[in-house]
Amino acid sequence: MSAFLALLKRDLMLSVRQGGALGTALGFYMLVVTLLPLGLGQDLNLLSRIAPGILWIALLLAALLSLGRVFSSDHEDGTLDVLATGRMPLEMVVGAKALAHWISTGIPLALTAPVLGLMLNLDIAVYPLLMATMLVGTPAVSFIGAVGAALTLRSYRGGLLIALLVLPLYVPTLIFGMAAVNGLLGVSGTSAAMLILAALSLTSVVLCPFAAAAALRVQMQ
Amino acid sequence: MQTLTQRLANPTRFMELSGSVLPWIAGAAAVVIAYGLYLAFYVAPPDYQQGETARIMYIHVPCAWLAMAVYAMVAMSAFGFLVFRHPLADVSAKTAVPLGAAFTFLALVTGSLWGRPTWGTYWVWDARLTSVLILFFLYLGLMALRSSIEDDSLASKLTAILALVGIVMLPIIKFSVDFGNTLHQPASVLRVGGPTIDTAMLTPLLVMALGFTLMFVAMHFKAMRNEILRRRVRALQLAQVEKAQASQLAAAE
């Protein structure tokens, strides 16, 4: 467990100190949200209606953008090989790295959403719910993304390919995230959608490390 | 004592057997599809609401069935490859993916053409359409991942892992998109309480489904044979290059 925490701490420190990874993701997030009203027209009623969807999709894209570096830099300098030969199971290594990605990318993106929501004329009453769905849903984004990052570790065109592999798998997270925000099913439906979203996140936290570790093992033989 | 699967899994045995069976399966597919088309166009009655346009069902539904069945087959092959490390399972998974993608694409296109006269639009963001579209993207992802990795055996293993991830995710994706309402009619053939579709339409449909399945099996066998031959040619080429290098070295000394 101490190895797990040490790895988590190391990855978090790297994400803070090693060249603005978080800044890039946040900047991308804001830019997507800025471009959409320019493309869709400045009708504030329309924007406030579709704001949760814009914010969720921009969040998925921004998180996707930062997935590439979950394993690649450690793979290049050999750290991943050291970790793989260490005593900690590779599944736990993947878990620590995905968790670090969630803390360093998922949470900041979710916390930035209200600021961008102001720009989209989103009703302030919706903010707590929107942030809650994002905080509950982003672990699934990070852990499913880790599988994609592990699979594309040694491919050319890694960045584009990861999008093609991972975005279809984000569909359930997006749908239930939106269902919870929009309250499609009334007040009780919101909590149901929230629970399903939590279930998605917890399931991917449990299952995805196995798939990602299998993919990493195959590539390090 | 080998089991039947073990004997069939030998590539040489597979080449012999598939070579002798293939013409029969292909012929059977042609005959069954021809008979099915005859039934669909001349025997089956037009739908009382949709008229003649409903006949596109006899192409659309078998394609949609195969789109899903082929993915299941890809996943089973991937499982077989990862667990038993058998190269033939990989050949099967690799060659089934483009075929599955083609059937998925046909299901989407025929469905879209059918949707225009009956629903009044080519595309709606309905649950079934969306999940089939995502299935299509999963197929594309499998092809893209395989082609993006130079090392063939590594590409096979990674694609197999992705195929298994996909088969776990598919029911969840299906469940999540079913969350919304659907325009598409619910399952009307394979359902509890028997089919709701009339026999006059069910028979041609089943004949076409059988014909399309035979066609898939024939094409899959052919593609597997091609892939095995391609790998053999490659192995022979590599062996020749090595031999030439060895003789050059010997001459230099």
Q: What is the pLDDT of residues A116-170, one digit of tens each?
A: 888 888 888 888 888 999 999 999 999 999 999 999 888 776 678 888 999 999 9
Residue B176: name the closest of A169, A48, A116, A47 by CA: A169
* Angle, CA A159 vertex, CA A158 and CA A165 arms, to 5°: 80
B153 is a domain residue: yes
Residues paired with residue B51 on neighbouring β-strands, in sequence order: B47
B15 is a domain residue: no
CA–CA gap between residue B176 and residue B168 (Å, rounded):
13
Residue B142, pLDDT score: 93
In chain A, the number of structural domains is 1
Helix count and strand count (H, E) for chain B: 7, 0
Unique residue bearing structure tokens 């091609």 = B226
B189 is a domain residue: no
Testing the interface with B: which of A176, A184, A185, A218 to mutate, by most B Cβ within 10 A? Answer: A218
A161 closest CB neighbour out of B144, B164, B168:
B144
CA–CA gap between residue B96 and residue B91 (Å, rounded):
8
CB-based contact B161 A157, cutoff 8 Å: no
* Angle, CA B211 vertex, CA B208 and CA B214 arms, to 5°: 150
Query: Percent of chain A having pLDDT more than 70?
Result: 95
CB-based contact A200 B177, cutoff 8 Å: no
In chain B, the number of structural domains is 1
CB-based contact B144 A164, cutoff 8 Å: yes
Contacts of residue B185, Cβ cutoff 8 Å, sequence gap at least 6: none
Contacts of residue A65, Cβ cutoff 8 Å, sequence gap at least 6: A24, A25, A28, A159
Domain, as residue range, for B245: 39-183+196-252
Residue A110: name the closest of A167, A47, A68, A173 by CA: A173
Tokens for B121, please give them: 């639009």
Query: Percent of chain A having pLDDT more than 90?
Result: 32
CA–CA gap between residue B61 and residue A208 (Å, rounded):
34
Q: Would you give per-residue pLDDT tens digits along chain B (253 residues)?
A: 456 566 666 778 888 888 888 899 999 999 999 998 888 888 877 776 677 777 888 889 899 999 999 999 999 999 999 988 888 899 999 999 999 999 999 999 998 888 888 777 888 777 778 888 999 999 999 999 998 888 888 999 999 999 999 998 888 887 777 765 444 555 666 555 556 667 777 888 889 999 999 999 999 999 999 999 998 898 899 899 988 988 888 888 7
The contact set of A with B (CB < 8 A) is 147, 151-152, 154-157, 161, 164-165, 167-169, 171-172, 175-176, 179, 200, 207, 211, 214-215, 218-219
Say how many C-beta atoms besides its own lie within 10 A of residue A107's C-beta. 16
Residue B183, pLDDT score: 46
> Chain A neighbours among B 29-88 (CB < 8 Å)?
82
H helix runs in A18-105, sequence order: 21-40, 44-65, 72-76, 79-85, 90-101
CA–CA gap between residue B207 and residue B33 (Å, rounded):
7
Chain mean pLDDT for chain A = 86
Residue A150, pLDDT score: 92
CA–CA gap between residue A34 and residue B105 (Å, rounded):
35
The per-residue pLDDT for range A45-94, each reduced to its tens digit, is: 888 888 888 899 999 999 888 888 788 888 888 888 888 888 889 999 99
Tokens for A142, please give them: 């990070």
Do residues A102 and A138 touch, judged by C-beta distance below 8 A?
A: yes
Do residues A99 and A106 touch, judged by C-beta distance below 8 A?
A: no
Residue of A nearest to B162 (CA): A151
Q: Distance from A16 to chain B by nearest Cα, in Å?
A: 31
Higher pLDDT, A192 or B184: A192
Domain, as residue range, for A214: 2-220
Do residues B79 and B136 touch, judged by C-beta distance below 8 A?
A: no
pLDDT at A184 over 60: no
The pLDDT-based confidence of A185 (bands split at 50, 70, 90) is: very low
B120 is a domain residue: yes
B133 is a domain residue: yes
Residue B115, pLDDT score: 83
B32 is a domain residue: no
**Dihedral angle sign, alpha carbons of residues A103, A203, B180, B48:** positive
Do residues A185 and A179 touch, judged by C-beta distance below 8 A?
A: yes
B230 is a domain residue: yes
B237 is a domain residue: yes
